[in-house]
Each structure stands twice: as C-alpha cells, then as structure tokens.
Amino acid sequence: MCKHQILAYNDNGYIVLCKKCNHFQIAFGTTVICLSEIQYEEFKLQVEGQLNFYKDDGFPQQKIIQLQTFSVNVQMVVSFNELLKLIELLEEESILTEVDKIISKAEIKIQTENKNN
C-alpha cells in the first residue's frame, strides 16, 4: 500500500511521492501518471523543452502539445495555456522539495552540534 507525501498541488492538479515505492504520481487535468524518479526528472525536462518548441504555434487553447508518459499507449495532450500551468506545478514541486532538503540539512546539523556539546 502506498504512503503518499504531497509535494505540490493547485487547482489544476497535484504531485505526490510514494514513500514506500519511491514513485511520483502526477495528476493534471483528467490524466494521472505514475513515474519512477528518473522518469519524473525526464518528464520535467520534456515539459520545459516543449515550452520553447511550441511558443508561437496555434492558439493558446489548442491541444497540440504531446507529452510522452513512458507508457507506450498513453500520451498527455495539452494546450499552450495548460503547459504553462503544468510547468507552474512542476516548478512549485521543485522549489518546495529544495526547501525541504535545506531544512533537513539544517536539522541534521543542529542535532549533530547538540550531540557534540
């Protein structure tokens, strides 16, 4: 049974990490995908790369941006506006994860210093 840690969420979706199997779950719009840590990092790079590729194509609501999900039969298809919202969600996760790492390092340092005193 998975034990999820919420990493980021907003009106468009969420990103959680299963503490038992170490897989990421991204829910966005009507799609939910489950990715390993390596796949998750590759997915983030793919999404950011699409921002540059589709900057001026079509109209903002046109669903023309295909995102690979590492499942042979499943793709996420989004509009440029949705891509921006997905990037916002992924960036929020990255920032909050980095803050958690900094806090954890500070807590370990404090605990070590307290043991030494």
Q: How high is the pLDDT of residue 1?
A: 72
Asked whether 66 and 105 are in contact (CB, 8 A), the reply is: no
Return the pLDDT at 117.
Answer: 65
Show the domains of the chain with their CATH numbers: 4-116 (2.30.31)
List average pLDDT for each run of 10 residues in the chain, which is 117 residues long.
89 94 94 95 94 74 90 90 95 93 84 76
Do the beta carbons of residue 74 and residue 42 sit within 8 Å? Answer: no
The predicted structure's pLDDT at residue 28: 96
Q: Which residues contact 42 (CB under 8 A, 6 or more apart)?
A: 70
pTM for this one?
0.85
What pLDDT does residue 33 have? 95
Query: Angle of helix 80-116 relative to helix 37-53, nearest 10 degrees?
Result: 140
pLDDT, residue 11, reads 93
Alpha carbon distances (Å) from 101 to 38, 66, 81, 83, 95: 18, 32, 31, 27, 10
Q: What is the 3-state secondary structure (H, E, C) of 80-116?
A: HHHHHHHHHHHHHHHHHHHHHHHHHHHHHHHHHHHHH
Q: What is the pLDDT of residue 53?
A: 80
> At 38, is the secondary structure helix, strand, or coil?
helix
